[in-house]
Amino acid sequence: MRNRIFLVVLLCILQVALRAESYPEVIFDNSLVKGSYARSKVNYTGHSWVENVQGNLLVSDSLFFTPGNALSLKYQSADQGDWDVLIRYSRQKFHYRVNHDDVLNLKLFIATPLTDIQDLPSISIQQGKSQSVSVPLAEYVEDFNHSTWVNVKIPLRVFAGLDVDRIISGIRFRQLISSSKLHHLYLDQIEFLPARYSEAPLTSSAVLQEATGHGHHVELKWQVPLTPSIRYVKVYRSQDNKEFKAVAIRPTYMLSGLDRVPALDKKYYYKIAWVDYNYRESPFSEVIEVEASSYTEEKLLDLVQSASINHFVENYDVNSGMYMPFRMKDKAPVSVQETGGALLSLLIGVEKGNISRPLFLNRTQRVVDFLENAQNNDGFFPAFFDGRKGLPLYLDDQPKYDVVATSSLIESLLIIRQYLSEDTEQENQLRAKITLLWDRLNWRNLTLEKDSLLIRGTIDMVDEVFSDEPLVGLNAGLSAYMLAVASPSSGIPPEAFRHAIEFRLPEKAAVVEIDEEEVSEESKANASDSTFTSSDFDASSVWTRDEIPGITDSLTLDSARLDTIMYGIQLPFGPPNTSLLDMFSPFRTISPENAVIGDLDLQDVLLKYTQVVKRRDNEIGVGTTHSDIWGFYQRKDSVGSYRINPAISIASAFLDEQQAYRSLNTLYEEFGEGLFSEYGFRSWLDLRTDDVADEYLGVNQSSIAILLENARNGLIWNLYQAIPEIRSARDRIFKPRDK
């Protein structure tokens, strides 16, 4: 048995569904990056003015109420002018709704001594394009004073026009009284709280259990009792065991966290305190000493994998056991497709010693029991369910059964069936139930009437008819073809796998990026991050294509073949016009080694597209001089947004280990302070603004965990190929590689 390297990550016994570092009722607690706050929007006219960087408020790293920063609001309210500042909710919290008896709370620091209370702005609550009336901050400031943090508490009932049935999109500050003076405020901990909460005093000392160094990060584990007045865990760090600095706060649902230290090969000292709703602290815990030492490549890989796996340990619906990509107040949305990646990530966690086998079995049992009775058509499921009610969710307003989503989950369950080898009642039962889910899939009923080698991607849920759009191309749909060929009850010919690669759908209109503020908040709330994970938006390319008539019932397909030279590399299917993660998707389970079909060596094809994307992104190179930073997933025009998805380059390790590891190391070293956390790499990094996402995507975290593990030891590939039905299908689909 190989040595367990170093990280037994984050809550082997924790059974709570999570999403982010802060509670959903918190509008602002900390900016993830220094400089300016990208989720703010500054407007001013006339002689008025608000200090900003590229339209965003500045961030204060030296003065804050809760560590480690606050917002700086410096403004001039002229008689002939106006200004306003919107502080938005992050995307992951667009679902949040308030209650009538809630109170809007914030902490305010008046830095300019000549600022009187009447000089303070007004405040309103934004809901999409609508907003409540503005109310003066001055009327709700407690104990107005300068150069100290003061409380502002505003009952929501005073915000006329507020609709509690609609979700909150932000808070807007607005010029109120004109003045010739320049005013400077600091804002922190903007949040909605209930009118009444527990105020039981925190008399017991906090408990810090463990501190372990992992390169630039120290992992802290603590205990939190079931005391209703505890709201946060506050982390303190010292370099001399005398002067301690507050470096982080964490919600009580997190029983551990990562702290990035300023230097390696040094000793650090940690202690924690519990914090109540009024931000009063408990007595400190005992101090723990830890040394942050240099790390090896293997240790960094373990850290990244383990943190990615932890995203799934903590983020699931307790009723169904399935992955919850985001949270809503009245529903528990779960993703069928991403649950497949979540389960494989958890399996890897068991093998690496990060999570316990009983936890893994329990989660899988819940998923299988849920699916056994879930609504389906010929064994195929919709893309999303409400895990709480067991009913389908139509996040795109199109009630359909999703073949790719179902395939992702079923192939993962088959791998788990292969992995579970113990002769116990629970494992025997799980294997039997997975086989029943596998056998009831009717693949032949998905084939097109005019081309029995192609299968459709969806089944209409309402009219019980099939869509005309088939699964074609080198993308996630190939996983469905592998299962369809392997099916013991309704298999299709092995030629279908190659046949699907040879076609592509007619090119659709380019995706247009629009301002968040222009999108209805209800649409944002209903849109899972997972629905956008194929958005490796490349520059639009125009392809010359010959139509192939009569291939489908009502849809004409284009030939996928378009020999093209780009950046010195010959590509068989023209310029890349989809996400590399989508191209990688079927090869999370299907080993590309010996994946030769006709004249196509799929491993070589994937490597070529990966090289082209890297060369393209390096040439554009906006915002970085590092050739190891690549993987654009969103690109606008020459002055627009350039966002890197870290998962793209890291997941390519199964094709080029050294290139991927160099990228991982550079991302961690150069941007890890904001980009990497307890849940792995965040979903994007904006190279122009040095901004990072505050959300995580299930497809990113699972791609990193799975493809890194495959690159290191082939775990998931080996398990999948060992499944008898899959082994038979592979032998019939692929030909031996020429020696």
The H or E element that residue 464 is part of is none
Statement: residue 254 has pLDDT above 90: no
Statement: residue 422 has pLDDT above 50: yes
Statement: residue 541 has pLDDT above 70: no
pLDDT of residue 286: 97
Buried b (16+ CB within 10 A) or exposed e, 465-491: ebbeebbbbbbbbbbbbbbbbbbeebb
Q: What percent of the chain has pLDDT over 90?
A: 70
- DSSP helix/strand/coil, 79: coil
Confidence of residue 635 (pLDDT cuts 50, 70, 90): low
pLDDT of residue 519: 41
Which single residue is written with the structure tokens 């190179």?
A: 621
pLDDT of residue 552: 42
Neighbours of 416 (CB within 10 A): 23
Statement: residue 514 has pLDDT above 50: no
The pTM assigned to this predicted structure is 0.85
CA neighbor of 410 nearest in space, from 725, 111, 116, 141: 725
Statement: residue 50 has pLDDT above 70: yes
The token duo for 525 is 């709330």
DSSP notation for 94-145 = TT----TTEEEEEEEEE--TT--GGGS-EEEEEETTEE---EEGGGGEES--
- What stretches of 364-512 adopt beta strand conformation (E)? 384-386, 391-393, 400-402, 458-460, 503-504
Q: pLDDT of 344-368, one tens digit each?
A: 999 999 999 989 999 999 999 999 9
Q: pLDDT of 276-318, one tens digit each?
A: 999 999 999 999 999 988 889 999 999 999 999 999 988 899 9
Statement: residue 692 has pLDDT above 90: no
Statement: residue 703 has pLDDT above 90: yes
Confidence of residue 236 (pLDDT cuts 50, 70, 90): very high
pLDDT of residue 634: 60
Q: pLDDT of 75-90, one tens digit each?
A: 999 999 999 999 998 6
pLDDT of residue 461: 73
Average pLDDT over residues 611-620: 93
What residues have CB less than 8 Å from 298, skipping those under 6 apart? 5
Average pLDDT over residues 211-228: 91
Q: pLDDT of 453-478, one tens digit each?
A: 999 999 987 665 545 689 999 999 99
Average pLDDT over residues 220-238: 94
Q: What percent of the chain has pLDDT over 70?
A: 86
- pLDDT, the chain, mean: 87
Average pLDDT over residues 65-80: 96
Task: Find out whether 220 and 272 touch, Cβ atoms under 8 Å.
Answer: yes
The H or E element that residue 31 is part of is none
Half-sphere exposure of 363 (CA within 13 A, CB side): 32
Say which residue, 468 or 640, is predicted with more confidence: 468
Cα separation, 577 vs 386, in Å, equals 33
| Residue 729 φ then ψ, to 5° | -65, -40
Cα separation, 6 vs 299, in Å, equals 7
CA neighbor of 156 nearest in space, from 177, 179, 181, 135: 135
Statement: residue 687 has pLDDT above 70: yes
Say which residue, 558 or 596, is predicted with more confidence: 596
Q: pLDDT of 2-33, one tens digit each?
A: 333 333 333 332 333 333 334 668 899 999 88
Average pLDDT over residues 379-396: 91
Cα separation, 417 vs 446, in Å, equals 25
Statement: residue 531 has pLDDT above 60: no
pLDDT of residue 737: 76
